C-alpha cells in the first residue's frame, strides 16, 4: 500500500505510445517519479520510425486518425506543432481484379465495382432480414455473413481476415466481427458511402512530417523534460512481487543488470510476456491460459526503388488469397515528400506466424515474394530494387480465436489481483487497437492515480468498459 510519506515510484515497461503517453502525463502532473524501460534502441514500438535508403519509414502503414480524443490530440498538436500534418487519404483496394478507392467514394464505386459484385451485394442487402441466426455458436463468419451478406464476405472480408489472422473465418470469435469491423451491415455500408457523398473535403488523417514515430519521440522528450527517465536498450527480465504486490523490476542492458524498486509497475508489453515475467510464477492454469492467447506476426519488407515514385497512392490493400501481402505503403506519399528525388521506398506487410516459412525467409526471398505478389496484382515493379531491408513483428495482431475470452479473462483476473500492477496498451490488453486508443488507455491510467499514489481500481474498471467499445479505424 502506497503512503504519502514515500514518493510514488512507477516503473513502466515499454516505450511505445502507451508507455510514453503515461510517462509524459505522470511526470507532467507530478504524480510520480517515472522510469520507462524499453528493450529496443528506438522508441515508439510498432508505432516507431526508422530510416531505410535515406527515407524515414514506419512499421507498415500508420496514420493518426481524427477519431483521437480531442484533449489527447490537443496535446499532440502542442508537442509536434507544424510537423503534425493533416493529409487527405488516398489509398485503394483490389476487388475482383479492379481497384476501388479507399476510403470509399460513391462515384468511384459506381464506375469501378464489377456489376456482378454490385448486384450480389444489393441482393444481399434486400434479403438481409431473411438471413437467420444460426443455432450453433456464432463465429466471425456467421455474424458477418448474416449482417452484410455473402458477396462482400466472400470477396473481401473473409479472404482478408484469413490472410491477416491466419486461421479459417469459422475459427474466429464473433467478438472480432462485432467490435473490430466498422462496416458489418448494409445500413453501415450505406452510411459510410453517404458520408463520402456529404463530405466537402476528402477523408483525412494526421501524419507527422518526419514519420509516425515522431509522436513517440516527442512524447519521450516531453516526459524527460518533466523529469521522467527513459532507459533504452534495456530488457525487462522479471517483475518481482511480494505478498501479492508488485515491488520491483529487474532489467538487463548488455551485461549490466539493474533492479528498479517500484510502488507501481505499469506494463505495456504483451500480456502473455508479462505473465512469464512475474515472480513468483503464476499458477499453471494462468500460464496455460496465457499460452492459449495467440498473436499473429508480420514481416515488413522495405524495398528501395531507383525511382522518385512508385504510385500516387499512400496504401494499397490486397484482400485476395493468392496475393501474399496484405498491404503496401509508400511512405513518401504520406507527407507528399519529393526528396530524395531519385529514390522511393515501398513497405509490404506480409502476415505470418513466428517460425513459419515466411518468417524464416531471407531478405532476397522476401523481395522476390513481394515482387511476385505485386506482379500478380497487376502493379509490377518496373524499376530495379536497390536495397531490401526487413523487420519482423512477433506480436503484430492479437488473434481472437473462438473462445479466447475464457483464456483472456483468466489471465486478466489473475493480473488484476496483484496490487500495484497494471497492464494496458495494445499488447497489454490483447486489443487490436489504434494508437489513439493506446494513448487513451495511458491517459485513463494516469487519471485513475491520485496525487497520493493511490490507484482507483473502480475508476479504472469504468475506463476498461469504455476500452471494450474501441473500434479499430482502418
Interface residues toward ligand FAD, by CB under 6 A:
13-19, 37-40, 45-47, 59-63, 65, 235-236, 268-269, 273, 298, 349, 393, 396, 425-427, 433-436, 438
Nearer to ligand FAD, 69 or 138 (CB): 69
Q: CA 462, 465, 467, 469: dihedral to nearest 10 degrees?
A: -140
Q: Least separation, in Å, of the C-beta of 4 and ligand FAD? A: 30
CB nearer to ligand FAD: pick between 185 and 467 = 467
Least gap, CB of 167 to ligand FAD (angstroms): 18
* Residues facing residue 85 across a β-bridge: 207
SS3 call for 300: strand
Q: 46 or 121: whose CB is closer to ligand FAD?
A: 46
> Least distance (Å) from ligand FAD to the CB of residue 354?
14
Cα-atom radius of gyration of the chain, to the nearest Å? 23
Number of Cα atoms under 13 Å in the Cβ half of residue 116: 7
Shortest reach from residue 33's CB to ligand FAD, in Å: 19
Rounded to a whole number of angstroms, the minimum distance from the CB of residue 36 to ligand FAD is 9
CB 18 within 8 A of CB 442: yes
- Secondary structure E strands in 199-343: 204-208, 229-231, 235-242, 245-253, 256-261, 264-267, 278-279, 294-305, 315-317, 327-329
Question: With respect to ligand FAD, which residue has the nearer C-beta, 37 or 444?
Answer: 37
Taking the C-alpha atoms of residue 146 and residue 142, their distance in angstroms, rounded to an integer, is 6
Report the residue number, 131 or 209, with the smaller CB distance to ligand FAD: 209
What is the three-class DSSP state of 151?
Answer: helix
Whole-angstrom distance, CA of residue 464 vs CA of residue 469? 9
Place of cell 456467421: 142
**Dist CA 121 CA 238 (whole Å):** 52
Whose Cβ is closer to ligand FAD: residue 331's or residue 425's? Answer: 425
Q: How far is the CB of 127 from ligand FAD (least distance, A)?
A: 35
| Cα maximum dimension of the chain | 72
Give least dist CB 3 to ligand FAD, A. Answer: 29
Nearer to ligand FAD, 56 or 59 (CB): 59
Q: Note the helical H segments in 279-434.
A: 284-291, 331-334, 363-376, 404-416
Amino acid at each position: 500500500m502506497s503512503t504519502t510519506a514515500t514518493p510514488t515510484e512507477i516503473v513502466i515497461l515499454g516505450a511505445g505510445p502507451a508507455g510514453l503517453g503515461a510517462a509524459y502525463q505522470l511526470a507532467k502532473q507530478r504524480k510520480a517519479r517515472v522510469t520507462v524501460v524499453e528493450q529496443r534502441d528506438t522508441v515508439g514500438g510498432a508505432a516507431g520510425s526508422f530510416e531505410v535508403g535515406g527515407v524515414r519509414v514506419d512499421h507498415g502503414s500508420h496514420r493518426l486518425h481524427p477519431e483521437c480524443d480531442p484533449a489527447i490530440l490537443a496535446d499532440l498538436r502542442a508537442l509536434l506543432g507544424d510537423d503534425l500534418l493533416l493529409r487527405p487519404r488516398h489509398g485503394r483496394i483490389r476487388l475482383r481484379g479492379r481497384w476501388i478507392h479507399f476510403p470509399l467514394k460513391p462515384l468511384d464505386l459506381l464506375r469501378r465495382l464489377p456489376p456482378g459484385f454490385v448486384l450480389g451485394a444489393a441482393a444481399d442487402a434486400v434479403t438481409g432480414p431473411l438471413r437467420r441466426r444460426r443455432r450453433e455458436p456464432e463465429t466471425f463468419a456467421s455474424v458477418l455473413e448474416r449482417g452484410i451478406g455473402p458477396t462482400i464476405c466472400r470477396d473481401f472480408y473473409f479472404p482478408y481476415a484469413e490472410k491477416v489472422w491466419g486461421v479459417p473465418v469459422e475459427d474466429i470469435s464473433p467478438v472480432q466481427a462485432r467490435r473490430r469491423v466498422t462496416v458489418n451491415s448494409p445500413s453501415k455500408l450505406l452510411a459510410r458511402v453517404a458520408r463520402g457523398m456529404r463530405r466537402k473535403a476528402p477523408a483525412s488523417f494526421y501524419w507527422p512530417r518526419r514519420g509516425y514515430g515522431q509522436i513517440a519521440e516527442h512524447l519521450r522528450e516531453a516526459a524527460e523534460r518533466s523529469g521522467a527517465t527513459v532507459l533504452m536498450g534495456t530488457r525487462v527480465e522479471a517483475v518481482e512481487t511480494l505478498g501479492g504486490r508488485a515491488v520491483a523490476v529487474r532489467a538487463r542492458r548488455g551485461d549490466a543488470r539493474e533492479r528498479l524498486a517500484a510502488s507501481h509497475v505499469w506494463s505495456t508489453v504483451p500480456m502473455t510476456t508479462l505473465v512469464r515475467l512475474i515472480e513468483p510464477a503464476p499458477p499453471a492454469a494462468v500460464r496455460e491460459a496465457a499460452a492459449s492467447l495467440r498473436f499473429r506476426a508480420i514481416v515488413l519488407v522495405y524495398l528501395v526503388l531507383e525511382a522518385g515514385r512508385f504510385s500516387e497512392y499512400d496504401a494499397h490493400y490486397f484482400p485476395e488469397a493468392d496475393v501474399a501481402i496484405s498491404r503496401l505503403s509508400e511512405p513518401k506519399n504520406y507527407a507528399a515528400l519529393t526528396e530524395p528525388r531519385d529514390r522511393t521506398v515501398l513497405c509490404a506487410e506480409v502476415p505470418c506466424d513466428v517460425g513459419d516459412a515466411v518468417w524464416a525467409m531471407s531478405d532476397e526471398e522476401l523481395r522476390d515474394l513481394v515482387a511476385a505478389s505485386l506482379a500478380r496484382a497487376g502493379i509490377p515493379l518496373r524499376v530495379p530494387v536497390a536495397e531490401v531491408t526487413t523487420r519482423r513483428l512477433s506480436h503484430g495482431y492479437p488473434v481472437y480465436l473462438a473462445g479466447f475470452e475464457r483464456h483472456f479473462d483468466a489471465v486478466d483476473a489473475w493480473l488484476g489481483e496483484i496490487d500495484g500492477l497494471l497492464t494496458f496498451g495494445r499488447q497489454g490488453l490483447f486489443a487490436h487497437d489504434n494508437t489513439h486508443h493506446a494513448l487513451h488507455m495511458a491517459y485513463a491510467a494516469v487519471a485513475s492515480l491520485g496525487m497520493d499514489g493511490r490507484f482507483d481500481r473502480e475508476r479504472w474498471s469504468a475506463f476498461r468498459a469504455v476500452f471494450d467499445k474501441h473500434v479499430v479505424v482502418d
